[in-house]
Amino acid sequence: MQKQFPLTTVGALVVNTSGQVLIVKTTKWKGAWGVPGGKVEWGETLEAALLREFHEEVGLELTQVRFGLLQEAVLDSQFVKEAHFILVNYYAFSAGETITPNEEIEEWAWVTPKQALDYPLNTYTRVLIEDYLQKQFGIIDYNLAGK
């Protein structure tokens, strides 16, 4: 039997100038919504892979890229085929909002993070958005409490 190893992937919750986030419905997650991203190529840094994937999948240029969280998908039935992923999630900003979808993207929406939770998200994207909301509101509450 051939040895198999987990695949490293990158994805990001991207925020626009209006504070909305981009979610996409792809062919890869059986009708569930998620964030753009994909596999890291050999010799490619995580951030370079993220920038490439966003350019390829939705045509966006990202800035202010920062690490979000690490997740693992082990033979998850939400994915279109059997796979084991190490999901490296980021938060990023895009000044542009025009989406140029590739063949993987079926639909997309710019929505508030809370509105995104009303979509049928894959569980990993739901965790990422909830983490973003917790971090954002934690910062806001802390700043307001300090005034």
**Does a structural domain hold residue 1?**
no
DSSP state of 6: P
**Does a structural domain hold residue 67?**
yes
Q: What is the pLDDT of residue 47?
A: 98
Number of domains in the chain: 1
Distance CA 10, CA 90 (A): 8
**Does a structural domain hold residue 78?**
yes
Residues 7/84, Cβ–Cβ less than 8 Å: yes
How big, in percent rounded to 5, are the helix, strand and coil portions of the chain? Answer: 30, 35, 35
Per-residue pLDDT tens digits for 73-92: 999 999 999 999 999 999 99
**Does a structural domain hold residue 2?**
no
**Does a structural domain hold residue 38?**
yes
Say if residue 145's pLDDT is above 50. no
Question: Residue 39 belongs to a domain with what CATH number?
Answer: 3.90.79.10
Where in the sequence is the domain holding 132, given as residue range(s)?
A: 7-145
Q: In the structure encoding, which two tokens stand for residue 141, read together? A: 């509450």
Q: What's at 10, amino acid-wise?
A: V
Residues facing 97 on adjacent strands: none
This prediction has a pTM of: 0.89
**More confident: 123 or 147:** 123
